[in-house]
């Protein structure tokens, strides 16, 4: 069994996770990749990502005295087929200090397909100076499933409050579930030109347009400033797997650009190729 990864396990990198689930790929694919020097070394990692489901997890800490926690918070998502295992919520995309009173924190959780989301378990390790936590709600958005579910809690996770539990199993509120057309993964390959000053450190974004006026949201290709510095160098090829609204079988045009700013924002773009990936990662 071959389990390539070729992705970060780091709080400050990629999606911020320090644990990854890996799915096996065909041996021939691994050998083909190692023999083909022209292929991006990240291809296998992208193959893994294309087979994964990405969840955006928002967590609301209550607006009560001492509601925030310094403890390490973890979550497990349970689906109709499988569960994610314990995932540490390490790097909030919104706040440097996470789980503060009255604040909403956002995290990215990736997993192999667990099916329809049925329940979650969320808790903390009760370590640190101020550990008690009042959890208002958790919201989980799964673009590839076309579902955004709300898990109301409104209780303490505190050894000295409520029933003394520091973890809880929560079910979604059916009336608060939002259904939409599922997103699909696109493989986007960007070629930066081989001329002086061609590279950019700016925040590059893309919009895809299908027929009948359908288009995707504007999506940044890099997740953080470090990726912006790493990618889009002169004469480079960068590949991304991006979950976006399904614009159908025909992409009529794309809009690609950047938000300027910084020392080296000017960019000479050679070309872009896009593949709409089918559910089996093909």
Write the pLDDT tens digit of every residue in 171-207: 999 999 999 989 998 999 999 999 888 889 989 999 9
CATH number at 28 reads 2.60.60.20
Alpha helices in the chain (DSSP H): 27-35, 43-50, 225-230
Whether 16 and 118 map to the same domain: the answer is: no
Please report, for the chain, how many H helices and E strands are present, in that order. 3, 15
The set of residues, in sequence order, having a beta carbon less than 8 Å from that of 106 and lying 6+ positions away, is 56, 57, 58, 59, 92, 93, 94
Question: What does the pLDDT look like over 51-92, one tens digit per residue?
Answer: 778 899 999 999 999 999 999 999 999 999 999 999 999 889
Lowest-confidence range among 23-27, 176-180, 208-212?
23-27
- Residue 37 pLDDT greater than 70, yes or no: no
CA angle 107, 110, 111 (to 5 degrees): 140
Whether 10 and 59 map to the same domain: the answer is: no
Two structure tokens written together for 151: 């898990």
Residue 144's nearest CA partner among 61, 79, 189, 200 is 79
Residue 195 CA from chain centroid, whole number: 33
Could you say which of 179, 210, 244 is where a domain stops?
Answer: 179
Question: Is 271 part of any domain?
Answer: yes
Question: Is 73 part of any domain?
Answer: yes
- pLDDT value of residue 79: 94
Count of structural domains, the chain: 2
Residue 49's nearest CA partner among 107, 115, 112, 143 is 112
- pLDDT value of residue 101: 95
Query: At which residue do the structure tokens 């493989």 appear?
Result: 187
Residue 138 CA from chain centroid, whole number: 16
What's the start-to-end Cα distance of the chain, in Å? 19
Q: Which residue has the higher pLDDT, 92 or 9?
A: 92
Question: Is 61 part of any domain?
Answer: yes
Question: Given its phi and psi angles, is residue 258 left (phi above 0), alpha (psi -120 to 50 degrees) or beta?
Answer: beta
Range of the domain at 147: 53-179
- pLDDT value of residue 3: 67
* Euclidean distance between CA atoms 131 and 145, whole angstroms: 34
- Residue 5 pLDDT greater than 80, yes or no: no
Give pTM, 2 decimals: 0.78
Mean pLDDT of all residues belonging to the chain: 86
């Amino acid at each position: 069994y071959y389990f390539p990864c070729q992705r970060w396990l780091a709080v400050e990198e990629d999606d911020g996770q320090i644990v990854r689930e890996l799915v096996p790929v065909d041996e021939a694919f691994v050998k083909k990749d190692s023999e083909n020097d022209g292929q991006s070394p990240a291809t296998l990692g992208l193959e893994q990502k294309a087979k994964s489901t990405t969840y955006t997890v928002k967590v609301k800490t209550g607006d009560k005295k001492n509601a925030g926690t310094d403890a390490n918070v973890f979550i497990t998502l349970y689906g109709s087929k499988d569960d994610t295992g314990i995932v540490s919520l390490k790097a909030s995309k919104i706040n440097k200090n996470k789980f503060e009173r009255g604040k909403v924190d956002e995290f990215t959780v990736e997993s192999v397909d667990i099916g329809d989301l049925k329940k979650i378990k969320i808790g903390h390790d009760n370590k640190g100076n101020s550990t008690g936590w009042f959890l208002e709600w958790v919201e989980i958005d799964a673009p590839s499933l076309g579902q955004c579910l709300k898990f109301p809690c409104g209780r303490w996770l505190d050894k000295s409050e409520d029933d003394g539990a520091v973890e809880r199993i929560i079910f979604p509120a059916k009336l608060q579930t939002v259904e939409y057309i599922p997103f699909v993964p696109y493989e986007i390959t960007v070629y930066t030109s081989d001329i002086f000053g061609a590279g950019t450190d700016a925040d590059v974004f893309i919009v895809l347009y299908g027929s009948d006026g359908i288009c995707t949201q504007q999506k940044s290709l890099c997740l953080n400033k470090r990726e912006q510095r790493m990618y889009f160098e002169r004469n480079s090829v960068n590949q991304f797997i991006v979950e976006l609204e399904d614009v159908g079988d025909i992409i009529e045009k794309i809009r690609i650009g950047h938000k300027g700013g910084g020392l080296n924002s000017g960019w000479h773009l050679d070309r872009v190729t896009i593949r709409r990936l089918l559910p089996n990662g093909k």
